[in-house]
Structure 1
Amino acid sequence: MKTKHMLRTTLAGIAAVMALTFGMAQNAAAHCDTLDGPVVQDAHKALEAKDITPVLKWVKAKDEKAVKAAFSKALAAKGANAETAHHQFFATLVKIHRAGEGAPFTGLKPAGAVEPAVAEADKALASGSADALVKLVTDDVTAGIKHRYERAAAAYKHKDESVAQGREFVEAYVEYTHYVEKLHMDATGKAAHGEHKEAGKQHGGHAGHGAEKH
């Protein structure tokens, strides 16, 4: 029995991290526009070493010329102009990186603007262990499912007593099932069915209502 429980816990952790990883792949560009993000961190290393190599992996080959030009200007700047030139280099690099990923650039974000899960994902790579990351994501996923399940289960008991109570159940049910579906789809890398996407649009207000309560 204990072994089965451990297996379920492990699988839940793996699924949670897979969901996080899939979500991070979709939002990686947003993470990379922060001053403490990996792109700017590598830019600092490049300036300190006077070697552009560390940042070239973040851009496509066709964009290297523009990045090298911005890098040269940053290195050449002296005195009070150096900080401004460095910032311009960071902005140029991130803008080009985001363009290569098909994402817009709205300016560099301050340090600390990264979501906790993404910050923990970076720590996992640096430390060589994903244990803390698995726990963070698994705890949040577990809480999210339980919260929505309990709301839907409570409404289910009274769904046929009146139209108002029936609608309350539908609202809770839609939020509950869409939340679980998205988690599972993200974990397995599958796209949601078209009809479910359409239903999500129709019931978007319901999901938002529940999310605010959570």
Structure 2
Amino acid sequence: MDGPVVTAARKALETNDVTIALAYVPQSGEGEVRAAFDRVQKARKAAPEAREVADLYFYETVVRVHRAGEGAAYTGLKPAGLDEGPVIPVAEKAIETGSPDALIRMLTETLREQIEHRFTHMMRLRDHDPRDVAKARAYVEAMLGLQVYSHKLYGAMKADAHEGHSGHKHG
């Protein structure tokens, strides 16, 4: 409820300007969001309870259409204040300050730590008696794990922002 999509939907209702929310949905979903906005504007004039329900309907519509535009399933609105992990706040700060330096440092250091850890683990398993199948399997698992991990990271770094979407917070 405190993510950028709901924040934009809330501001659209407060200012009576649907275009604020439209920036967060694909063009193909614009008609649905505009129609929901018009219905909600009428419902908001009724009792305070109707306004609350109408607002929630609009938030849900905007988030659902937004998620569909990313190719992601809509799983409902999430409550405000959820732990979004360490990266989103740093990315948000980068956007606020206009500098990606702290985000680059954080991601680079995390990458370095992970690769060094996985590589060191693999190297510890490398020297084993070739007849010890269990140790050979452990080495192969670590070796292939490092390669697959590296391959997936490279793919993620080169991917479109929403390719392989993993449920980041937007609601």
User: Which interval holds the TM-score relative to the shorter structure?
Assistant: 0.7 to 0.9
Q: Does 1:104 align with 2:73?
A: yes
Give the 3-state SS of the residue equivalent to 1:88 in structure 2. helix
Question: Residue 63 of structure 2 aligns with which residue?
Answer: 94
1:5-154 to structure 2, matched below 5 A, reads: 35-76=1-42, 77=44, 78-111=47-80, 112-154=82-124
Counterpart CA distance in 1 for 2:27 and 2:124 is 56
Give the 3-state SS of the residue equivalent to 2:89 in structure 1. helix
- Compute the displacement of 1:67 (Å): 1.1
Counterpart CA distance in 2 for 1:169 and 1:55 is 51
The code of the aligned residue for 1:100 comes to: G
The code of the aligned residue for 2:23 comes to: K
Structure with greater proportional helix content: 1
What is the aligned residue count?
156
- Compute the displacement of 1:62 (Å): 4.0
Counterpart CA distance in 2 for 1:104 and 1:131 is 32
TM (normalized to structure 1)?
A: 0.65
Q: Return 5+ residue gaps in structure 1 as ranges.
A: 1-34, 190-214
CA contact (8 A) 1:148 1:176 kept: yes
Q: 1:188 to 1:72 in 2, by over 3 A?
A: closer
CA contact (8 A) 1:159 1:168 kept: no
Deviations 1:102-133 (A, max 9, x none): 22212112232534313322221122121221
Counterpart CA distance in 1 for 2:156 and 2:49 is 47
Counterpart CA distance in 2 for 1:84 and 1:54 is 20
Identity of aligned residues (%): 39
Deviation beyond 6 Å, 4+ runs, structure 1: none
Counterpart CA distance in 2 for 1:113 and 1:159 is 46
Q: Return 5+ residue gaps in structure 2 as ranges.
A: 160-171
Question: Residue 23 of structure 1 aligns with which residue?
Answer: none
Q: How much is the aligned-residue C-alpha RMSD, in angstroms?
A: 2.2
Give the 3-state SS of the residue equivalent to 2:84 in structure 1. coil
Counterpart CA distance in 1 for 2:148 and 2:9 is 40
Q: 1:83 to 1:184 in 2, by over 3 A?
A: same
Q: Does 1:158 align with 2:124?
A: no
Counterpart CA distance in 1 for 2:153 and 2:114 is 10
105-114 vs 39-48, greater mean Cα deviation: 105-114
